[in-house]
Structures are given as structure tokens and as C-alpha cells.
Amino acid sequence: MIVTTGGFDWLAGPAKHSVMIAGHSTSISLEPLFWESLCRAAQLRALPVNALIAQIDVLRMEHPDPPNLASAIRLWLLREESATTG
């Protein structure tokens, strides 16, 4: 049995997504749940997904030991969720 939430399998493994950051094409692998959360976060901020990813990338690179971009996105989403739920 496949458990779905919001029309997608929330337990599905990562899928590659092509993005443009600072004029450079790259790809990130995110699970559907994280990709959907990222898209919602961008929509709430009235930003294209690429623009939000670029902002997260800047924050990531400010860290002395930056994680990979996909990990930074997951951590950013978790932090945002924690901030909104108190």
C-alpha cells in the first residue's frame, strides 16, 4: 500500500530537480515531501522556487562547514516549520 499525502507518495525517495542559482544550472535531489514544502514556502513569499533556493544557498555558504545544498534546504524547511509552530 502506498501512503499518499497531497497527491504524492510522502515516503518516496529523492528525485532530481533542475534549478538555476546565480545564473548557473545545477540539480538537487529532494524527496517529494521536501520539494512540495519548498514550493509552498516560495509561494508564500511570492518568490520563484529558484530565488528561494538561491537565498538558502547564500545562508548555507555563510556557515564555516556548509552542508550540501539539499541538506541545507531540508534544514531550512525544518527550521521554518519550527518557527511557525512555536
C-alpha cell at 21: 542559482
pLDDT at 5 exceeding the cut of 80? no
Nearest CA-CA partner of 72 in 13, 17, 29, 10: 29
Question: Which pLDDT band, with edges at 50, 70 and 90, does 1 fall under?
Answer: very low
The reported pTM is 0.86
Q: Give the tens place of pLDDT for each residue, 13-32.
A: 899 999 999 899 999 999 99
Q: What is the CATH number of domain 4-85?
A: 1.10.3990.20
pLDDT at 10 exceeding the cut of 90? no
Q: Give the tens place of pLDDT for each residue, 46-78.
A: 999 999 999 999 999 999 999 999 999 999 999
Q: Cβ distance 30 to 17 under 8 Å? A: yes
